Structure formats: C-alpha cells, structure tokens
Amino acid sequence: MSETMKAAVLEKLSELTVQQVPKPEIGDKEILLKVGACAVCGSDIRMFRHGNPRLEPPAIMGHEASGEVVAVGSAVKGFAEGDRLALGGDMPCGKCDELHCKTINNCPLNFAMGYQFPGSFAEYVKINELVWNGGPASKLPSYMPFEQAALCDPLACCINAMEMCRPEEGDTMVVVGAGPLGIMLTELGKQMGVAKTIIINRSRPRLEVAKQFGVDVTICSSEEDAPARILEETNGHGADVILTACPSPEAQAQTLEYAAHRARINFFGGLPKGQSVVPIDTNILHYKEIYMFGSHGADPTHLHRAVELASTGGIDLGKYISHRFPLDQAPEAFEAAESKAGMRVVITP
C-alpha cells in the first residue's frame, strides 16, 4: 500500500478540502521536497473562484513555496538531501526554441507549479527536471525561515517589474494598489534610487499599512483627485515610473494623466476576463514619448536575486506576513487571503 500525505485539494470551483492523497513517488530525474511553507497568491484565489485553463480539478495548487529536500533521484545533479529550497512558479517547457525559453516566464506553454503540475499546499511536493535543471529552484541559507522564503517568488516578480521600469536616481514613482506586492515594489524602488514613492489606493486601511513601510505619499482615490494630487507632488511634471498593482481598467487608463515625459508605465497587475480592453489616449503616449509595457511572473535569475536580497536583509519578508495557518485550516487561509484584511497569508504543513 502506497504512503499518503495531507493536502489541500481544489475539488471544484470554490470548494477546497483537506484530505489524504498519495504521497508523490519520485523517479531518477525528480526531487521530493518536504514543504516548509506555501503562501496564498492572488492567482490561487482567482483559480479557486474562477478556474484556469491550465488547471484541471481535482488539483493541488500553491507555487509560492519553500521546503527541505528529503529524496533525490539518481540522475539529479546539483541537489542533495538536506538542501533547503525556495520555489517559484514559472518553469520552462523544455521543448520550445531558445528565444522563447530565454526568459522562462515568456514560454508560450506557460508551465507552472500549482497549475499543470501539483503544487505545494501539501506536506510534500515533487520537483521535476524542468524545475531543478535551470528552473525556479533556489537554494536557501540555513538561517532563512521557510515562511519568509515562500515569499521570494512574489519578490522575484517585483524585481522583474522594476528591472523593466529602469528607475533612475531622483525619480518619482507611483504604485496604484497598496497590497503587499504594491508596497514591495516601493521598497525596491527606494533601493534603486527613487527619490519619492507614492501609493494610490481606494480604501484607507491599506494606506495606513503602506506608511509603516516608509511610503512617502499616500493617496486615497475615493476621497481625492489622484492625478491632480500627483501633479501637485511633482511640481506639475508627473511621475517618472508608474506601476498598476491592482485589477482595475480605470487605473490603467488614468496613468497617462499623471505621467511625466518619457515616463515608464508598467501594467504589473492583470485585469479580469472581459475587462482587459482599456481606452488609452495615444496622443499623450505619442507627444510625451511614454514607454508602456507589462510584466508577468519572473525567471529563475530573479528568484535567485530575491533569495539573496531577502536573506541578506535587503528586504524583510517577515513584515509582509500577517496570517499563518496550518495545512488543516487551508480553507480558512483562503478566506483570510480573499478578505484582504491583512498582508500575505502563509500555510505551513
């Protein structure tokens, strides 16, 4: 009789149950990781409520993870039992040409842990060759807590976004959306030379949290004219770097109203299905020579940099954890994450 393990299984839309499932068995080119922690991502909530073409229930979600290697296949190179790892979501398909897989998060097949492959809301997760052989698996120092290491994947996504924004010394940076990743972006901006960080959010509680992380200016868009306030804060010049970290078409369209000449605008947060066609005043884009782009996920180099940054104290990921739940309470963890009452929610087996 095969061994079993505990896992949170998405049985169908909006139905997550904790149950005993077969413990993964590994082959020669696979690794077994004992999960130390797995954070609940916004994409997990979207799949929980609305599904995803890359995931077919019953399924185990979870891609922001960390843990300890407990078994290694005979053909695995570079990893051994006892290694502590942070995992990312995006992984190469191993089939398409070098141009596409040069940046793994742009691979057309878009393979990911917790999507096509079982994720880490479980006691154990199997890591295949696509992950350990040049994919999103990064070794951790012995002193780094698993809970914090689980947030290296979202930090990697933020590093990717900021790298594309190319902030310069003295820039003013605006982030729309005061969730954990929005605040994380402002911390990275400061480290990259941004002089003033501004966060816009519709409700005040999140803005109060943002202030605790050192954000310079907070704007409650339900109470004041956000574009006018930004122009006031920038002496009429507008913001140099703008990121939308919220699922709002209006927020994306409005960015041009307060963008400086040659501003870099990054649509970091995706939009809901059916709402992603956004009216843009292309004359502003044209005459101000504005750069407008998006960023999605991260590649392994960003994950390695996230681990280095977090493990050396550059970013304190522990501050971003507001809720902790045991695996038995995974449904409650999803409720907490969906409520947006705190920061990040972490599940520990």
Domain with CATH 3.90.180.10 in the chain: 4-150+316-348
> Is the pLDDT reported for residue 182 higher than 70?
yes
What sign results for the dihedral spanned by CA atoms 105, 131, 69, 79? negative
What does each C-alpha distance from 323 to 44, 328, 331, 337 come to in angstroms? 16, 14, 13, 8
98 pLDDT higher than 60: no
2 versus 105: the higher-pLDDT residue is 105
Top pLDDT among 101 and 126 is at 126
Question: Which helix (H) or strand (E) is 311 found in, with range?
Answer: helix 300-311
pLDDT confidence of residue 110 = 83
Look at residue 216 and give its three-state secondary structure. Answer: coil
pLDDT at 1 over 80: no
Cα–Cα distance, 50 to 190 (Å, whole number)? 36
User: Looking at residue 93, what is its pLDDT?
Assistant: 80
Give CA 229 to chain center in angstroms: 29
Q: In one letter, which amino acid is 180?
A: P
Produce one character per residue of 191-222: b if its CB has 16 or more CB atoms within 10 Å, e if not: ebebebbbbbbbeeebbebbeebebbbbbbbe
Q: Where in the chain is the domain with CATH 3.40.50.720?
A: 158-294
Q: Is the pLDDT of residue 96 over 80?
A: no
Q: In 10 A of CB 273, how many CB atoms?
A: 8
% of the chain exceeding 90 in pLDDT = 89
Pairing of strands 344-348, 321-326: parallel
Q: Place 92 in a pLDDT band, splitting at 50, 70 and 90.
A: confident
* Closest to 144 (Cα-Cα) out of 298, 317, 301, 303: 317
Orientation of helix 204-212 relative to helix 180-191, angle to 10°: 30
Distance CA 83, CA 138 (A): 10
Residue whose entry in the numeric block shows the structure tokens 């185990």: 60
The Cα–Cα gap between 42 and 48 comes to 10
* Rounded-to-integer distance, Cα 173 and Cα 259, Å: 10
Q: Which CATH class is domain 4-150+316-348?
A: alpha beta
At residue 279, the pLDDT reads 93
Does residue 187 surpass a pLDDT of 70?
Answer: yes
Instruction: With cut-offs at 50, 70 and 90, classify the pLDDT of residue 100.
Output: low
User: What mean pLDDT comes out for the span 246-251?
Assistant: 94
Kindly report, residue by residue over 64-86, the tens digit of the pLDDT: 999 999 999 999 999 999 999 99
Task: Grade residue 16 by pLDDT with cuts at 50, 70 and 90.
Answer: very high
Mean pLDDT, the chain, rounded, equals 95
Q: Does domain 158-294 have CATH number 3.40.50.720?
A: yes
Residue 100: Cβ-neighbour burial (10 angstroms; 0-12, 13-18, 19+): middle
Label residue 107 by pLDDT band (50, 70, 90): confident
Burial of 316 (0-12, 13-18, 19+ CB in 10 A): exposed
Q: What is the pLDDT of residue 95?
A: 77
pLDDT tens digits, residue range 109-144?
788 999 999 999 999 999 999 999 988 999 999 999
CB atoms within 10 A of CB 4: 12
Angle between helix 152-165 and helix 300-311 axes, rounded to 10 deg: 110
